[in-house]
Amino acid sequence: MMTALPTSSRAWHLIARPEGWPSPGDVALREIPVGEPGQGRILVRNLYFSVDPYMRGRMNEVKSYVPPYELDKPMDGSAIGEVIASAADGFAVGDHVMHGLGWREYAEFPASRAVKVDASKAPLPAYLGVLGVTGLTAYAGLLRTASFKEGDAVFVSGAAGAVGSIVGQIAKIKGASRVIGSAGSDEKVKHLLDEYGFDAAFNYKSGPVKEQLKAAAPDGIDVYFDNVGAEHLEAAISRMNNFGRITLCGMIAQYNSTEPPAAPRNLAQVLTKRLRMEGMIVMDHMDLRAEFVKDVAGWLADGRLQYQETTVEGIENGFDAFLGVMRGANTGKMIVSLG
């Protein structure tokens, strides 16, 4: 006997635009209807969804590279799920797929917006992190945007996070002369040194970033991978060698600020040192995906690349998981598991 399909799904909605730090009053977990899939469409039971810092920007009503979340509508983001009904060629019940309708239990959408993933090749959550957009961000941001070359000294801010931890390890694999990371706790610093093989790391809460970076990089740095902005960016510019390259990937230090950042105050050095500073959005680099998956799958298989995930159970805890990312409560990728 065929199991009845669900007729509704719980989904997180944005109900107010945050001022500064988001609060539980800005969101609501509500029921939405779910129907049988129409022609060319699939119905997916979500198993995992991703919560990421960039989602904070989507809560503001400002034009950006992704549209803002609409008020009183379900939020979205990367998810992995199992097909439970299909009216689309090439997709069968039981297939695992990656798609963009996270923050909810069930999603019905065109099959063209789904990518099959193989649970036998890697654990399913890995496709949201190290083998997904997170990993590709690290790969493209370091190797293409920052034009990394063997022998470069590399500094990564937010280095215990999902992207930063992969950046540092790829730099080591590719022959960096020195890899330095910053993180927000002594435990994370230890993790960078012991698990990920960073040459030096420091807790940015323990003292001025500029002084700690100078001690960690006595010969300067050639590449800075910026996930934080503000004081970190100013400190990195001060330690950059001539013709250094900076990838601007995230500015988490100011995502919840209501005032403009005080730093960096030393942008004149970008001129005098002939630095190149470039923002990167992963969607511009999807042409690297096949090469990226091949390389990273190989590094995972031979043990040269390690990754960690922080998993929060239950859709009802999804917003708390997001707030945890904003506070740096995660080591590696933050995943919400729906069981």
CB 122 within 8 A of CB 297: yes
Start-to-end CA span in the chain (Å): 23
Cis peptide, bond prior to residue 264, ω within 30 of zero: yes
Q: What is the pLDDT along the chain (339 residues), one digit of tens a residue?
A: 457 899 999 999 999 999 999 999 999 999 999 999 999 999 999 999 999 988 999 999 988 888 999 999 999 999 999 999 999 999 999 999 999 999 999 999 999 999 999 998 889 999 999 999 999 999 999 999 999 999 999 999 999 999 999 999 999 999 999 999 999 999 999 999 999 999 999 999 999 999 999 999 999 999 999 999 989 999 999 999 999 999 999 887 666 656 666 778 999 999 999 999 999 999 999 999 999 999 999 999 999 999 999 999 999 999 999 999 999 898 889 999 998
Pairing of strands 240-248, 276-279: parallel
Q: Give the list of residues 6+ apart from residue 17 with CB closer than 8 angstroms, or none.
A: 26, 59, 60, 61, 71
pTM of structure: 0.86
- Would you list the domain boundaries of the chain? 8-129+307-337, 133-283
- Strands of the chain, DSSP E: 8-14, 27-33, 41-50, 73-74, 79-86, 96-99, 106-110, 115-116, 153-156, 178-183, 200-203, 221-226, 240-248, 276-279, 309-313, 333-337
Q: Which superfamily, per CATH, for 8-129+307-337?
A: Medium-chain alcohol dehydrogenases, catalytic domain (3.90.180.10)
282, amino acid identity: V
Tokens 């805890």 sit on residue: 317
Does an H or E element contain 62, and which?
Answer: none
The rounded distance, in Å, linking the Cα atoms of 226 and 84 is 40
CB 310 within 8 A of CB 40: no
CATH for the stretch 133-283: 3.40.50.720
